């Protein structure tokens, strides 16, 4: 099996972005259109997407096993939307789902409906879902809150959004980027009511709809996340 790191995924998903405004990816079809608009032929765009989906299929889903049983580190985020700043110590007693995502990644765009669904289904049962924006394109720019607000509005996220702008040195580093190579940065953690990490989805994509066969594993991943949320809520 081929081994990929988050640096490989960044290289696969990076393409030319307008210097004036980053247009958030809506879905895989929109991502294909973006590739073509920046100079890819339709066949080259399809090949690039097929390579990206190949990474998704071959991803080691046990890549986060070293984090299981660890106390979740503190939040050190630059900004928040849809919420006052949240403190992980003050969230004890609730189950947490913490997902890092960005605006230029089709994996993240395809997972957006799943985040909305999980928030709507489980918030009243005791789940706090936190979506953590971390920039990939133009990640060395200063903090740009209008950019974050634009994609939060586009994806209709009503749950708390944290901004981990300096993620290579920030909270994502503390939670995920230490230790072994990671397959992606769009990682999801489930944290139990005592603040201990109990489940890690190591990145990319998950959702309810099966769609094409090359996304079937996304449905299996969503089932695993649902099952673990329900187990932790019942404890």
Q: What is the CATH number of the domain that holds 93?
A: 3.40.30.10
Cβ atoms of 214 and 53 within 8 Å: the answer is: yes
Q: Is the residue at 209 inside a domain?
A: yes
Our count of domains for the chain comes to 1
pLDDT of amino acid 29: 94
Domain containing 184: what range?
Answer: 65-234
Q: Is the residue at 173 inside a domain?
A: yes
Q: Is the residue at 35 inside a domain?
A: no
- Tracing tokens 């799943």 back to the chain, one arrives at 114
Q: Is the residue at 71 inside a domain?
A: yes
Q: Is the residue at 41 inside a domain?
A: no
Q: What is the pLDDT along the chain (235 residues), one digit of tens a residue?
A: 334 454 445 544 554 444 457 899 999 999 999 999 989 999 999 999 999 888 888 899 999 999 999 999 999 999 999 999 999 999 999 999 999 999 999 999 999 999 999 999 999 999 999 999 999 999 999 999 999 999 999 999 999 999 999 999 999 999 999 989 999 999 999 999 999 999 999 999 999 987 777 788 999 999 999 999 999 999 9
pLDDT of amino acid 138: 93
Q: Is the residue at 22 inside a domain?
A: no
Closest CA to 167 of 192, 153, 148: 148
CA gap 88, 91 in Å, rounded:
5
Q: Is the residue at 156 inside a domain?
A: yes
Cut 0.85: pTM above it: yes
Q: Is the residue at 170 inside a domain?
A: yes
- Tracing tokens 């096993």 back to the chain, one arrives at 65
């Amino acid at each position: 099996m081929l081994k990929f790191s988050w640096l490989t995924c960044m290289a696969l998903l990076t393409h030319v972005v307008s210097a004036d405004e980053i247009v958030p990816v809506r879905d895989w079809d929109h991502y294909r259109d973006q590739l073509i608009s920046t100079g890819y032929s339709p066949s080259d765009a399809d090949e690039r997407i097929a390579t990206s989906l190949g990474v998704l299929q071959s991803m080691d889903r046990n890549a986060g096993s070293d984090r299981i049983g660890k106390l979740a580190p503190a939040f050190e985020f630059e900004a928040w939307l849809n919420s006052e700043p949240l403190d992980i110590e003050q969230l004890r007693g609730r189950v947490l789902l913490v997902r890092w995502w960005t605006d230029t990644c089709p994996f993240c765009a395809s997972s957006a409906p799943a985040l909305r669904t999980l928030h709507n289904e489980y918030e009243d049962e005791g789940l706090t879902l936190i979506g953590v924006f971390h920039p990939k394109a133009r990640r060395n720019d200063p903090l740009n809150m209008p950019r974050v607000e634009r994609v939060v509005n586009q994806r209709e996220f009503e749950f708390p959004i944290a901004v981990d702008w300096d993620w290579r040195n920030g909270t994502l580093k503390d939670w995920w980027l230490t230790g072994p190579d990671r397959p992606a940065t769009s990682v999801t953690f489930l944290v139990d009511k005592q603040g201990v990490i109990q489940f890690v989805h190591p990145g990319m994509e998950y959702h309810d709809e099966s769609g094409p066969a090359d996304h079937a594993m996304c449905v299996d991943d969503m089932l695993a996340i649902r099952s673990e949320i329900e187990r932790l809520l019942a404890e």
